[in-house]
Amino acid sequence: MNAASMVPVPATAVPHAWRGRIGILGLIAAEISLFGVFVVAYLFYIGKSLNGPYPKDVLDVPVLATICLLSSSISVALGARALRRADVGRSGLWLLVTVLLGGFFLGATAREWHRLIYSAGLTIGTNLFGTTYYPLVGLHASHVIVGLVMLSLCCVLAWTKSLRPPHAERVEMVSWYWHFVDAVWVVVFTVVYVIGR
Amino acid sequence: MSVLSRSMTGPEASAERSVVDQLHDWVVTVDHKRLGVMYVVTGLIFLVVAGLEASVMRLQLAWPGLHIVPPETFNRLFTMHGTTMVFLVGIPIVFGFGNYLVPLMIGARDLAFPRLNAFGFWILLFGGLLLHFSVIGGDGLYGAGSAPSVGWFAYAPLTGRAFTPGNATDYWNLAIFVTGIGTIATSINLLTTILAMRGPGMIFGRLPIFVWVMLTVSAMTLVILPPLSAAQIMLMLDRYLGAHFFDTQAGGSAIMWQHFFWFFGHPEVYVLMLPGFGFVSEIIPVFSRKVIFGYTTIVLATVSIGAVALSTWAHHMFTVGMGGPLNSLFALSTMLISVPTGIKIFNWLGTMYGGKLLFRTPMLFCCAFLFQFLCAGLTGIMLSVAPFDWQLSDSYFVVAHFHFVLFGALVFTIFAAIYYWFPKVTGRMLSERLGRWNFWFLVIGFNVTFITMHVQGLLGMPRRVYTYMPDRGWEIWNLITTLGVPFQIVGVLLFVVNVIVSLRRGEPAGPDPWDAWTLEWATTSPPPSYNFEVVPVTTSRRPLWDLKHPDDPDGPHE
């Protein structure tokens, strides 16, 4: 046995720094594939509804909500950066801003659904537009909810001073997930409100 | 050899603990080796269940006009057989081996996310139990049905609420959805482990072939499994909330389900089969006493199979009327994928050529694999020709083809892998004598059953039929097909006996019974929970060879 070829490694091996990043990218890859199928289904069924209401009659472009969601990508990035620079208070503040912006977006989606269901009479079973619209937008909204839960948790932990600079990597991963949720919205927005209308 | 022979007794070594405590250890464990073993054992138990289901079907089809089971039960049997085999036998066993071997082969102490790994296993087991609970719990709202009976691919619109009332189809849908979550979790885990947790010196050019395979398979799974989950969400919405995704009466498309399902379903075959190639690529060199012939080609072939597999799915749909251009496209891509697959056969043959062949049980299974996989590949190319497929689609020829792939190739490589790595996992050798009996019974039984099945298919016998008229000329072929089954049952029984006997009285294996070259053999058998006391440095594609022969390392020859 060539002793020089053996390198002692401490019993508690330090995980590689890229572990979390590759993990979250793997998750995002799977999520892209999941959304992809719903997007394909939406595109395939555009204009194939046998009866109304049709998208051009009932859909309003959610401009303000979209601006809020997209700008929350900036605030979450600022929050992650502040934590890397050991400024826990500022980090918590930016994360709170992110939660509020995301919460506004979710509220806007809820209002839109309420209007569609009760005023426009569009449900998931009404026609193919309803069948594809609610699952696609709903799948995105459910991802917003998951993101909001994680971000709120970070806010609470920042408030109780449990969030510390060593956690910067993890908050960074939450922010990557949030960027993904935003990016998906760009696709959903294009498909539903631009191409499909 | 001081490192190899040094005793490393892990916490598992304490044999005096009570059964309940030991069971508790297994339930709460996050150790990749224990989870790997649990995956494989789960897969083997479901293999027995699904094998018995197949045996009952063969009994029913042995002669025209038999009524061994009612027709509804027959539909449930082939649905449960197919679903169980793919999702609860193939997936757990290949990912179980991945779990066990990948960290050991790359010199890591565990997977990247051990708790996620435990979650992945338990959620998969839960999905499997949920599926089989349908046998007793399927009576639901409508009081109709028990186990699902829609086929393992659950084509729309048969799965619509109007055509399959009751909860049986929902059991299929939810159970497979749940196992999918576990499989995605494990894939992320393996991918991260291989990319981020490699030991010192384990660069990509030195990864064992099996690790390359698991890297490819994990990446593929992330792309192909979510579409199945998405389609299953759509099916759930259709059945419970009245959506119209696959509801043709409201303008929906039943063909869409086929596209989504086979976008998953066909690459899934490669997800299952590539690890089989990985096993063979590890075993054949060791028993030929040669390095693998064409390491780079075999890696490139693996990765390109993974890539091309994503564009072959609609060859399952030649008969639905996609039109000339699409048919040609998918026929061509299917023929294309046979090229890297064929290259691999030459890699293995080239490895054996001029080698010092040792026909131990793992090698026997590998040799049978080579022949049977060649047949499977050739019938695959035949079926890729769209007009040929029009003639034989949904016939027993197709059944024979994919059983040559999944049984003749995959299950045989799994047996090879179990015989090869059992000493590492348990510290004891499996009996070589019983192993040979096991092999010959299985190989004779398999070929009697499935070679004749081609003939029935060519004579026009459709698949999924409950029974058939006596004047079609199918009787004798069906009888021979069924006569192969007892041989296979004896073969599997011999395997079970071999495992039980060898666990108690098997010859002690030592760390490296096959004089092999990959890192899992550098530690004790069974490995301690931390795998390696000191993580060995990899200097070539055969790190353990280098450690054993410091005077003649592999590196300069690569």
Q: How confident is the model at residue A105 (pLDDT cuts 50, 70, 90)?
A: very high
Assess: ipTM above 0.95. Answer: no
- Quick check: A49 and B251 CB within 8 A? yes
Task: Work out the mean pLDDT of chain B and round it to a whole number.
Answer: 91
Question: For residue B7, how many other CB atoms are within 10 A of its CB?
Answer: 7
Rounded percentage of chain A residues whose pLDDT exceeds 90? 84
* Phi, psi for residue B16 in degrees, rounded to 5: -85, 0
- What is the reported pLDDT for B93? 97
Contact in structure between B140 and B167 (CB atoms under 8 Å): yes
A46 lies within 8 A of chain B by CB: no
CA distance A39 to chain B (A): 11
Distance in angstroms (rounded) separating the CA atoms of residues B223 and A131: 24
B530 lies within 8 A of chain A by CB: yes
Distance in angstroms (rounded) separating the CA atoms of residues B224 and B320: 22
- What is the reported pLDDT for A16? 60
B252 lies within 8 A of chain A by CB: yes
Q: Return the residue in B3, B109, B192 with the most chain A beta carbons within 10 A, the one to mutate for interface testing.
A: B192
Within 8 A of B214 by CB-CB distance, chain A residues are none
Residue ranges for chain B with pLDDT beneath 50 = 1-14, 140-144
- What is the reported pLDDT for B343? 95
How many CA within 13 A on the CB side of residue B360?
23
B461: left (phi over 0), alpha (psi -120 to 50) or beta: beta
- What is the reported pLDDT for B2? 37
CA distance A90 to chain B (A): 30
Q: Smallest Cβ distance to A23: which of B2, B192, B242?
A: B192
What is the end-to-end Cα distance of chain B in Å, rounded?
Answer: 24
- What is the reported pLDDT for B556? 81
Distance in angstroms (rounded) separating the CA atoms of residues A66 and A134: 17
- What is the reported pLDDT for B12? 47
Q: Return the residue in A24, A34, A37 with the most chain B beta carbons within 10 A, the one to mutate for interface testing.
A: A37
- Quick check: B251 and A37 CB within 8 A? no
Within 8 A of B241 by CB-CB distance, chain A residues are 124-125
B111 lies within 8 A of chain A by CB: no
Distance in angstroms (rounded) separating the CA atoms of residues B260 and B235: 11
- What is the reported pLDDT for A197? 86
Within 8 A of A27 by CB-CB distance, chain B residues are 188
CA distance B234 to chain A (A): 8
Distance in angstroms (rounded) separating the CA atoms of residues B367 and A101: 62
- What is the reported pLDDT for B555? 78
* Interacting residues of B433 by C-beta distance below 8 A, sequence separation 6+: none
- Quick check: A41 and B245 CB within 8 A? yes
- Quick check: A128 and B197 CB within 8 A? no
DSSP state of B309: G
**A 52-111 → B contacts, CB under 8 A:** none
B527-537 in b/e form (b: 16+ CB < 10 A) is: bbbbbbbebbb
Tokens 């054992």 belong to B41
Whether pLDDT at A140 is above 70:
yes
B501 vs B434, B493, B504, B507, CA distance in Å? 10, 12, 5, 10
Look at chain A and count its residues. Answer: 197
Look up residue B153 and give its two tokens.
């691919």
- Quick check: A37 and B227 CB within 8 A? yes
- What is the reported pLDDT for B6? 39
B225 lies within 8 A of chain A by CB: yes
Whether pLDDT at A11 is above 60:
no
* Interacting residues of B103 by C-beta distance below 8 A, sequence separation 6+: B32, B109, B110, B111, B193, B197, B531
